[in-house]
Amino acid sequence: MNRSGGVLLSVTSLPSKYGIGCFSKSAYDFIDWLKEAGQTYWQILPLGPTSYGDSPYQSFSTFAGNPYFISLEELVEERVLTIEECRARDFGENPHMVDYKKIYEARYPLLRKAYERSNLSENPEYQDFVARNEWWLADYALFMAVKDRFGGLPWTKWAEDIRLRWGNAMDYYRRELYFDIEFQQYMQYMFYVQWKKLKGYANEKGIQIIGDIPIYVAMDSADTWAHPELFQLDEKNVPCAVAGCPPDGFSAVGQLWGNPLYQWDYHRNTGYEWWISRLEYCFRLYDVVRIDHFRGFDEYYSIPYGAKTAVEGHWEKGPGMDLFARVKEVLGCREVIAEDLGYVTDSVRQMVRESGFPGMKVLEFAFDSRDSGCANDYLPHNYTENCVAYTGTHDNETIRGWFDTITKEEQELARAYLCDTRTPKKELNWSFISLIMRSAAKVCMIPMQDYLGYGNECRMNKPSTVGINWKWRLTKEELTKELQNKLYEMAKRYGRMNWI
C-alpha cells in the first residue's frame, strides 16, 4: 500500500432506482467519480446476506453474498425481468434512506421470477460456479431454504432432526425443497457474476476494493449450523459462551454481541483450515481485507451463555500469531488491515507489529477527555507510516456530528490542535480531513458523509442499537463535480494522488 487515499461508503448507500445501492450502473458511475477525484481505494462494508437488524456484521453466511446487491437493471437487460415488473414494486419513498422491510418484500419476488425464467439447466457457467463453490454453497442454500420453510425462525428453533442435521432429514429437505435450494444458488451465482464484473471494472480504473470481514459469525448462520465443531457449543449445539466486550468508559455494562466463540483448539489441530478457506475466498472478492476486532485473535472476551450483560465475562487467550503465520504459509503475503481499536494491550500491539499489517487510527478518539492516555495514540503527529487513518468509521458519529456532541473543553482542545479558532463548525470537516491527510499514515480513508460535511442524521451505525442503522443513502446529485475537484486537489496537495 503506497501513500494514498480513498472513500468509505457502503454499497447500500449508493444511489439506485430501486431502494438500495447495488451493483447497478450507479456503482460504475461512482467508480468513475472516484477515479476522477484522484482516489485509490473504495472501502465497503461486509457483503453478506443480512439478518434481523440489517447489520452487515450479523450475516446468515460467512461466504454468501447479499441478494439485495443484485442489479435489477442487469436482469432487465438479460430479459428475465421487465421494467414494468420492477416499477410495479414498492421499494420505499425516501431516496436518502433504505426501507429494509419494503426491500425484502419487493426484491425477493422479482428475483424469484428472474430465476424461474433463467434456464439454469442450459447455463454451463452456472453449473461450474455451483461445482467450484459446493463446499459452502450446498449448506448455505439448504440452510436458507429450510429457514424459509420454518417461517424465518433461527435454526436453533427448527425441528430436532434438521436442526441436528440427521441424514434422513437432510435427504428429505433436499428433495422437498429442490427448487427453493436452486433459487438460493441462482442468487449467489448472479451476485458473484455481477460483483466480479464490477470489481474488474474498478481495478481497470486503478481503484482497489477494501473489503471488511467480521471476526465472528452469527449464531443463526449456515456456518454455525453446518459446522458446530468450529465453535464453543455443547452436545445439543447450544453455546457455552458468547462474544462481546467488557465494561469501559463508554458502557458500564459492556457490549453483549451474542456470537458463538471459536473452538480454537479444533482450528489449531486442523491447521486453521476453515480460516484459510475463509480468507482465501475473501481475497477473491477484495483487493485488501480489513479484519474487524483484530484484538480478538490475541485475547477474546468470553461471556457465559444466558448472561444479561457483559459484566460477567472474562478474557481468554486466542490463537495469536500462530494463525497468521499459517495464513502466510498457505496464502503468501496478502494486503490486510488490522482493526486494532478499542481496549488494546501491549500483547495486542505486539501481535499487530509482528503481523506487519497496518493498524487503524481514528481522529475522533484523539480528543476524548475521558481517555487521555489512549487518545495520544490517535493524535495525527504520532501516526506511524504503517497505519490507515480515518476521521471516523461506520460505527462512529460523522465528524461534524461528533464535534457538535463533544464537550466544550474537547472542542477547544481540538481547535487548539488545529490552530483554528475561526472556521465555522459547518466547515470544520475539511480542517479535520486535511489534518489526517498530511499525517505520515500510508493510507487515509474518509467516510463519504465527512466529505459532504453531514451531521449525525447521516450516521451509518450506532452500536448497541437496532432498527435505526445501516440506512443512509446518497443521491446522484450529491456526487458533484465541485466535490470531486476538492478531493482531487486534496489528494494532490498531500501526496495521495492515484496516478494510474
Over 90: is that where the pLDDT of 39 sits? yes
Predicted local distance difference test score (pLDDT) of residue 372: 53
In degrees, to the nearest 5, what angle opens at C-alpha 440 toward C-alphas 438 and 442? 105
pLDDT digits (tens, 9 = 90+) for 103-127: 999 999 999 999 999 999 889 999 9
- Helix 178-204 to helix 167-176 angle (10° resolution) is 80
Q: Which residues pair with 225 in a beta bridge?
A: none
Pairwise CA distance, residues 4 & 446, whole Å? 12
Predicted local distance difference test score (pLDDT) of residue 256: 92
Predicted local distance difference test score (pLDDT) of residue 370: 65
Is 364 labeled as catalytic in the residue annotation? no
Over 60: is that where the pLDDT of 367 sits? yes
In the structure, what pLDDT confidence band is assigned to residue 95 with cuts at 50, 70 and 90? Answer: very high
Q: State the average pLDDT over residues 289-308.
A: 96
Predicted local distance difference test score (pLDDT) of residue 250: 64
Over 90: is that where the pLDDT of 463 sits? no
In the structure, what pLDDT confidence band is assigned to residue 140 with cuts at 50, 70 and 90? Answer: very high
In the structure, what pLDDT confidence band is assigned to residue 72 with cuts at 50, 70 and 90? Answer: very high
- Residue 236's Cβ-count burial label (10 Å; 0-12, 13-18, 19+) is exposed
Pairwise CA distance, residues 410 & 497, whole Å? 32
Which of the following is catalytic: 292, 298, 340, 364?
A: 292
The domain ranges of the chain are: 227-355
What percent of the chain has a predicted confidence (pLDDT) above 90? 92
Q: State the average pLDDT over residues 331-351.
A: 93
pLDDT digits (tens, 9 = 90+) for 78-93: 999 999 999 999 999 9
Residue 301 CB contacts under 8 Å (≥ 6 apart), including other chains? 243, 244, 245, 246, 254, 310, 313, 314, 315, 316
Q: State the average pLDDT over residues 248-266.
A: 89
Which of the following is catalytic: 322, 395, 404, 478?
A: 395
pLDDT digits (tens, 9 = 90+) for 391-410: 999 999 999 999 999 999 99
Over 70: is that where the pLDDT of 373 sits? no
Which of the following is catalytic: 54, 287, 299, 339?
A: 339
24-28, 413-417, 462-466: which has the minimum mean pLDDT? 462-466
Is 339 labeled as catalytic in the residue annotation? yes
Pairwise CA distance, residues 64 & 46, whole Å? 10
Over 90: is that where the pLDDT of 335 sits? yes
Predicted local distance difference test score (pLDDT) of residue 113: 98
**Four-CA torsion 225, 226, 227, 228, nearest 10 degrees:** 30
Predicted local distance difference test score (pLDDT) of residue 209: 98
What percent of the chain has a predicted confidence (pLDDT) above 70? 98
pLDDT digits (tens, 9 = 90+) for 470-486: 999 999 999 999 999 99
- Residue 151's Cβ-count burial label (10 Å; 0-12, 13-18, 19+) is exposed
Predicted local distance difference test score (pLDDT) of residue 240: 96
pLDDT digits (tens, 9 = 90+) for 195-253: 999 999 999 999 999 999 999 999 999 999 999 999 999 999 999 999 998 987 667 89
- Say how far residue 92 (Cα) sits from the centre of its chain: 23
β-pairing, 443-447 vs 4-8, is parallel
Is 265 labeled as catalytic in the residue annotation? no
Query: Regarding predicted confidence, which is higher, 51 or 135?
Result: 135
In the structure, what pLDDT confidence band is assigned to residue 1 with cuts at 50, 70 and 90? Answer: confident
Over 90: is that where the pLDDT of 52 sits? no
Predicted local distance difference test score (pLDDT) of residue 121: 84
Per-chain mean pLDDT for the chain? 95
Over 90: is that where the pLDDT of 500 sits? no
